[in-house]
């Protein structure tokens, strides 16, 4: 199955609007269990965390705020790597793509570039 989501780019663009010194927001890359048409398929995913309490899901045009504990349970989230706005900006420049940037996260088959 070919990935059709835009999570890495959408979350990357969102974190790029943050103040580089903002310590309340993190860009997260990890693995999630698919929902809907991709139910049961583990895949790489990206999202935003706010104040270690909420998840902001911005993929595919969404703008959903969900308690982090609920999001992680529903998505069976694993292998999380978190980036501050500054760290995310550095990775985008160094790697020249939206992510993922670490081996813990499966590669994005689309190879999106910022």
CA distance 31 to 22: 25
The CA distances from residue 22 to 17, 44, 75, 109, in Å, are: 11, 25, 26, 30
Domain boundaries, the chain: 7-95
pTM: 0.84
Of all residues in the chain, the percent with pLDDT exceeding 90 is: 75
Q: In this predicted model, what pLDDT tens digit does every residue of 41-59 receive, in sequence order?
A: 999 999 999 999 999 999 9
């Amino acid at each position: 199955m070919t990935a059709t989501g835009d999570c890495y780019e959408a979350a990357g663009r969102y974190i790029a609007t943050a103040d580089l010194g903002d310590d309340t927001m993190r860009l997260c890359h990890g693995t999630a269990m698919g929902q809907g048409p991709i139910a049961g398929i583990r895949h790489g995913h990206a999202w935003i965390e706010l104040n270690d309490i909420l998840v902001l899901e911005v993929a595919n045009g969404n703008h959903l705020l969900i308690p982090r504990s609920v999001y992680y349970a529903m998505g069976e989230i694993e292998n999380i790597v978190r980036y501050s706005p500054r760290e995310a900006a550095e990775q985008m420049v160094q790697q020249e793509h939206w992510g993922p940037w670490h081996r813990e996260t499966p590669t994005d088959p689309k190879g999106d570039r910022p």
